[in-house]
Structure 1
Amino acid sequence: MSEQEENGAKKGWILYPIGSKPKWPLAILLGLQQYLTMFGATVLIPFIIGGAIGMPPDKLALLISTMFFASGICTLIQQSPLGNRLPIIQGGTFSFLGPAFAIIGMVASKKLTGVDVWQIQMQELAAAVMVASLVEIVLGYTGILGKIKNIVSPIVIGPTIAMIGLALYSIGAPWMAANWIISLITIIALILYSQVFSLKSKVFMMFPVLLAILTGWVAALIGTMTGMIDPSNAAYLKPDLVASAPWFSFAPMMPFKWGFPDFGSATLWAGVFGMLAGYLASMVESIGDYYACARISEAPVPTERMISRGLGAEGLGCLVAGILQTGNGTTSYSENIGSIGLTRVASRRVIIAGAILMLIIPICGKFGASLATIPKPVVGAMFVGLFGMIASVGLSNLQMVNLNNSRNLFIVGLAFFCGLSFPYHFSPMLSAAAVPIAWGEAGSFVNILGNICQALLTTGMFVTAFIAIILDNFLPGATKAERGLEAWEKDATEETWIAAEKEWDSMEEGQVRVV
């Protein structure tokens, strides 16, 4: 087969490329599927934050709805001319949890009386996220962060993207283990729908994730109704959750719902510096996401300008999340990148349709509560499938690298191992034997520096990227071609993207690529 034929065969693998226009009813359904893949993380972050501050249950439900609403707004910002317009969903980030816990602890140490401490903690979190977001906005839109592309090669991006998939390895099987029968039904359904049935039917080709979730959901419903699943089991569906939810509530879209932050607070600025560490880790992860999203969508390599706009848009999204007081920020979601690989749908229209749904669903309390009944074992099975796909996408970047060069193999192996090992040592969330950094008294400069180091060293993507960047740019022994840079530089141009956009624009409404 000729090189042109090989490229043509590869190019036709995606059914709906980035600029394609699926008909709106189909786009809405596909968009819902995309959001269902990141449902676990979107719900998990509010549960972690709400639990840490002792938030009342009814307020926790509102916090979850607010996270979904903020995700919709931030995704639309990324899809606008202000963003990079890659088909990537924006949502909460685990990178902010370390700094968030430090802020929560500093507020708790004041031993406030006569007030709801959890509200003060939410206000401080919102203020820190908002102030720190200005740094990402400036670094992004001035083009400073886009320059990082000059020191990043496939040797760096490959392990970094793979770490995005591997970072949550500790969640997959433990969540599945909450009910092995339901989780195995789900993951077997995902395998069959995406890899076997998809060869015969376009329905299974485009909706394997949604159909697998529905399969696990129905299995859990049957088990609940027949009494085979005990109410104490994680797979048990709670119908009262839907019954008690209001039909409509506009509270999720209200700004400063927990009270206006005190920007003169002494602990605020200590929290801002700690939060900047979370932003740094998040930005490194997002750059890896941009490359992964473009590669799995069969699009050209992201340009320097696209990276800058993407990070600037994420900064704007964090500002919005702070105003809405989600207790978190926003970043690019890895889950939907894996979903693109399984569904072969990379259309911007699908992402926009999903984002619009997220502006409506939180207002309709019943529908949001219905989504909240997705069993934990089902979500765990989805994590295994989707994050496994992301890890393999990361590894695929290494095909541009000369892996017969021992210098390249050394860098990749060391970066991988450090990215897995360092967070396990420093993060109490990963290991009971972890040794978190606790320098100085709360609020002191040394303590702030410790919080920054803690946030960075507990983020596997940052550790992997940092080690790989340093070694790849300073160790001798490999040419640009052997590092994979020549292949990227040839593809990462504005002209390449203009040509790709013209090809996508030529597709008619509802047209599907021949695969």
Structure 2
Amino acid sequence: MYNPEQPIFETQPDSTVKVSIGVEENPKSWWQTLFFAWQITLVDFTPFIWAGMFVSLAGLPDTVVPVMIKTCFLAMGIGTLIQTTIGNRLPIVQGPSSSVLTAMGGVTATYGFPAMWGAVLVGGALEAVIGFSRVLGRLRKFIPPVVTGSVVATIGFVACKIAAGWIFSSHEPIFLILAAVAFLFALFLKFRGKGLLSQGFVLISVLVIGVVISSIVGIFDWGKVFAEDWFALPTIFPFRNFEGIPSAAGSPVVFTFAAILAGFTGYIGSMFESIGDYAATCAVCDQVYRVKHINKGIFAEGLGCMCSGLLGALPVTSYTQNIGILAATGVASRRVTRVAAVMFLLYGLSPKLAMLLACIPRPIVGAVFLISASMIMFSGIDVVISETRDVRGNLIAGTTIGLGVMMPVFFSTTGAEWAASFHPFLKMFVNNNVFIAVVSGVLLNIVLNMLLKERKATETPAQGA
């Protein structure tokens, strides 16, 4: 019988984190609430990076970036409010999903922008249905940690490739010098800074080098920033008839089965990342991790992704970096997270702020993003080795990561002519890192751990003389 209060673990994991303000508690004053909430938004202030990564993967014009930055902030606010109100009600921030955006980049490049939005909406609806139906516990056996970790590690490799491309996107020495300075400054903040300086190293280093120093040396375009309004209301499907995107003309959304299937592989990776994030959040908040946290959390996440699609934003997922804030501060108040959600909404209502972030020179953003991309990669590897290693696991992880990373490289270089003759769906498959990683990992897990599972040795009764 289904019991939503049933703990996931037989023994509650020990946590060294001391909670100063619990999930159901509130700070003593509104000023403290605002400060803690603002701190959350500074650490989770990364939509401008994910929007740029998606545009690069999808081959879209840079004019898309500022609009998508704005909509991603709106989606973060809405998704976080949904999660903390009707979801699992843990202090979890929802933000752009690297798993889904990587998959959707390939969908957009192959089937166009309208088909991508169709995949976003249907994928979000399917995720909500999965959470509502309570079947996720049964599906977990098809994607164990070795598969999930391999997919995340593959995403990290893709992110590193994007970061490197941004760093060397300009051959002018001044851009490369500032990129190197930003990289070193970010490392200094991360490992020598204290509190907010360390936790907000991405935002602080990008703003100091990308805005202040870039303005001093004359490479920051303030004209574009001044031309934008301070405030603008959001619209549904803002990319309809968007200038510079021929495929966006006409219907704002198209439902294509192949695009939906390819996009949903990203949702699969996102869901299982979130399950791990829920466990970590409960651990640092001194909460028992229960079945209801998974089902309600995934249901709310799916609803958030559907709202993201309507707003023209990237699908959302639980933000792992927010768990670091909870652990560092001991402030687990749900009210604080909700106030942070409102702040994200306010960020999304300002086109001027979005353009400010979009105008930061790409090499500088890439240099700082390289650190985050590397951390994503090794967070996946950490998941892979969290279980007892054996030959089967090593084979699954090695093959999944190898195919996920190198197959698109082959079919975009040596095998490009061959790939040009493929059906559009197959062409997208061989160039979509997340799709390849999820399919390869799931199939290998089924073959090695289910069909060819190791048989337990049985003792043969001794024969009497």
Q: In the alignment, what sits opposite 1:117?
A: none
1:466 to 2:442 alignment: yes
Kindly state the Cα deviation for residue 320 of structure 1 after the two structures are TM-superposed: 1.7
Q: In the alignment, what sits opposite 1:29?
A: 38
1:101 to 2:116 alignment: no
1:410 to 2:415 alignment: no
Q: 1:366 aligns with which of 334, 347, 352?
A: 352
Superposed, 1:108-507 pairs within 5 Å as: 122=114, 126-127=117-118, 129-131=120-122, 133-177=124-168, 178=170, 179-198=175-194, 202-217=195-210, 221-227=212-218, 236-250=219-233, 253-257=234-238, 268-269=254-255, 271-291=256-276, 294-295=279-280, 298-299=283-284, 305-324=292-311, 326=312, 329-332=314-317, 336-338=319-321, 340-341=323-324, 344=328, 347=332, 351-403=337-389, 405-426=390-411, 428=412, 434=416, 436=419, 439=422, 450=426, 453=429, 459=435, 461-463=437-439, 465-467=441-443, 469-470=445-446, 471-477=448-454
Distance 1:301 1:170 in 2: 39
Distance 1:386 1:293 in 2: 21
Q: In the alignment, what sits opposite 1:487?
A: none
Distance 1:354 1:372 in 2: 22
The TM-score with structure 2 as length reference comes to: 0.73
Kindly state the Cα deviation for residue 385 of structure 1 after the two structures are TM-superposed: 1.6
Q: In the alignment, what sits opposite 1:71?
A: 76
Q: In the alignment, what sits opposite 1:443?
A: none
Kindly state the Cα deviation for residue 361 of structure 1 after the two structures are TM-superposed: 1.8
Cα distance change on mapping 1:135 and 1:150 into 2, 3 Å: same
| Preserved CA contact (<8 Å) 1:140 1:310 | yes
| Preserved CA contact (<8 Å) 1:156 1:469 | yes
Kindly state the Cα deviation for residue 380 of structure 1 after the two structures are TM-superposed: 1.4
Cα RMSD (Å) of the superposition?
4.1
| Preserved CA contact (<8 Å) 1:248 1:365 | yes
| Preserved CA contact (<8 Å) 2:119 2:263 | no
Please identify, of 32-41 and 345-354, the stretch whose mean Cα deviation from structure 2 is larger.
345-354
| Preserved CA contact (<8 Å) 1:69 1:359 | yes
Cα distance change on mapping 1:310 and 1:438 into 2, 3 Å: farther
The TM-score with structure 1 as length reference comes to: 0.67
Give the gaps of 5 or more residues in structure 2. 1-12, 242-249, 457-465
| Preserved CA contact (<8 Å) 1:73 1:355 | yes
Cα distance change on mapping 1:150 and 1:71 into 2, 3 Å: same
Matched residue type, 1:321:
S
Distance 1:258 1:389 in 2: 32
Kindly state the Cα deviation for residue 142 of structure 1 after the two structures are TM-superposed: 0.9
| Preserved CA contact (<8 Å) 1:82 1:309 | yes
| Preserved CA contact (<8 Å) 1:86 1:293 | no
Cα distance change on mapping 1:170 and 1:406 into 2, 3 Å: same
Cα distance change on mapping 1:45 and 1:165 into 2, 3 Å: closer
Number of residues of Structure 1 aligned to a counterpart in Structure 2? 417
Kindly state the Cα deviation for residue 386 of structure 1 after the two structures are TM-superposed: 1.7
Kindly state the Cα deviation for residue 339 of structure 1 after the two structures are TM-superposed: 6.5
Distance 2:110 2:405 in 1: 23
Q: In the alignment, what sits opposite 1:489?
A: none
Distance 1:370 1:340 in 2: 28
Q: In the alignment, what sits opposite 1:113?
A: none
Matched residue type, 1:222:
I
| Preserved CA contact (<8 Å) 2:73 2:345 | yes
Give the gaps of 5 or more residues in structure 1. 1-6, 105-120, 228-235, 441-446, 480-515
CA offsets 1:280-331 (integer angstroms, 9 cap, x no match): 332223313431564488458966544443333333223223333x1x6513
Distance 2:421 2:343 in 1: 43
Distance 1:310 1:48 in 2: 29
Distance 1:127 1:438 in 2: 26
Aligned to 2:220, the other structure's residue is in SS state: coil
Kindly state the Cα deviation for residue 433 of structure 1 after the two structures are TM-superposed: 5.2
Cα distance change on mapping 1:432 and 1:406 into 2, 3 Å: closer
